Chains A and B, each alone.
Chain A
Amino acid sequence: MNWTKDRSIALSRACVVVFALLLAALDVSAVITAPPVERHTQMILMLVTISHTLWTVLVALCSLFAWPALWKLWRLLGNLQAGKVFTDDNVRLMRAVSWCCVGAGLVCLVCGCWYAPLFVLAAAAAFMALIVRIVKNVFQQAIAMKSELDLTV
Chain B
Amino acid sequence: MEIIVNLDVMMAKRKISSNELAERVGITAANLSILKTGKARAIRFSTLMALCHELNCQPGDLLEFRDE
Instruction: Give chain A's interface residues, CB within 8 Å of chain B.
Output: 148, 151-153
Contact = CB atoms under 8 A, between A and B. Distances in A.
B57 interface: no
B47 to A, nearest CB: 5
Interface of B: 27, 31-32, 34-35, 39-44, 47
19 contacts: A148-B41, A148-B42, A151-B34, A151-B39, A151-B40, A151-B41, A151-B42, A152-B40, A152-B41, A152-B42, A152-B43, A152-B44, A153-B27, A153-B31, A153-B32, A153-B35, A153-B40, A153-B43, A153-B47
A148 B43 CA distance: 11
Given A152-B41, A152-B44, A153-B42, 11 more contacts: A151-B34, A151-B39, A151-B40, A152-B40, A152-B42, A153-B27, A153-B34, A153-B35, A153-B40, A153-B43, A153-B47
Contacts of B31: 153
A55 B59 CA distance: 72
Contacts of B40: 151-153
Contacts of A151: 34, 39-42
A51 to B, nearest CB: 60
